[in-house]
Structure formats: structure tokens, C-alpha cells
Amino acid sequence: MTRKEFLDDLIAFYSADPVGRRSVGVMRGGCYYRGSNGRKCAIGRYIPNYQYSGKMEGLIVSATAVWKALPESIRALEAPFLIACQNLHDEARFWSANGLTKAGVRAVSAIRAAYAA
């Protein structure tokens, strides 16, 4: 998977139903790799069920437990890019009920420019 494919998939998946698909929490704030409601975040979508552990919650993408759980094809995209994509998923200001906000579109443009995605 290329960076462009990963980012395009992220945008398409969450834009289809931002409210119902984004895995963000109210109690803890921020994102959950796996929410109790079955939702998964931009990175959590790629962690195989047999690799997932609740101990990953609260860790950044590049933390050893999370990083090792990701398939090699995703790790090949490199941590800084994946962190930028995770931030795109996490930030409420980047999403509305209809998809990306203007701020979200700008964030996507910045990711594409920085990471040739």
C-alpha cells in the first residue's frame, strides 16, 4: 500500500460516516485503536485482531506494542506519516457530519505535501 492509497482510503472510509466510524472517546478524549462500540481508528483498522491488546490504548503509533502489531506493509509507510494520518482522524475540527471540514481539507493537503501522499 502506498501513502497515497492509505490516505485516500482513510478519507473515503471516514467521510462515508464520520460520526459512526471515527473511534474517538468522550470520557478519555482522543482516539481509541478499538472503541468499545466496535469502531476502529485510522491505525487500529490495520491491527489484526490476534495482535490487538487493550494495553495499546493511550500509546502513540510508534510505541513498540502498537508498531509491532502493524503489518509490515503499513510500517513501511513510516511512523511520521502514520502519526500525521492518526492526527487527521483524531482532530474533531477536521470532521463534520458530512466529512472533512475546510480545516480537514487543509490538513490533508499538508500531509500530501509533506509525505508525497
| Prediction pTM value | 0.92
User: Rounded to an integer, what distance in angstroms lies between the CA atom of residue 28 and that of residue 14?
Assistant: 21
Confidence (pLDDT) at 102: 98
Compute the average pLDDT of residues 17-43.
82
In this predicted model, which residue has the larger pLDDT, 34 or 25? 34
User: Rounded to an integer, what distance in angstroms lies between the CA atom of residue 3 and that of residue 81?
Assistant: 8
User: Rounded to an integer, what distance in angstroms lies between the CA atom of residue 2 and that of residue 22?
Assistant: 22
Cell of 69: 502489531
CA angle 93, 27, 68 (to 5 degrees): 80
Total of domains in the chain: 1
Categorize the per-residue pLDDT at 31 as very low, low, confident or very high, splitting at 50, 70 and 90: confident
Query: For the segment 49-90, what is each residue's pLDDT rounded down to a tens digit?
Result: 999 999 999 888 999 999 999 999 999 999 999 999 999 999
Host domain of residue 95 = 3-115
In this predicted model, which residue has the larger pLDDT, 32 or 25? 32
In this predicted model, which residue has the larger pLDDT, 100 or 25? 100
Confidence (pLDDT) at 29: 55
Spatial CB neighbours of 93, under 8 Å, sequence gap ≥ 6 = 101, 103, 104
Amino acid at 74: I
Confidence (pLDDT) at 24: 84
Residue of 72, 5, 83 lying closest to 43 (CA atoms): 83
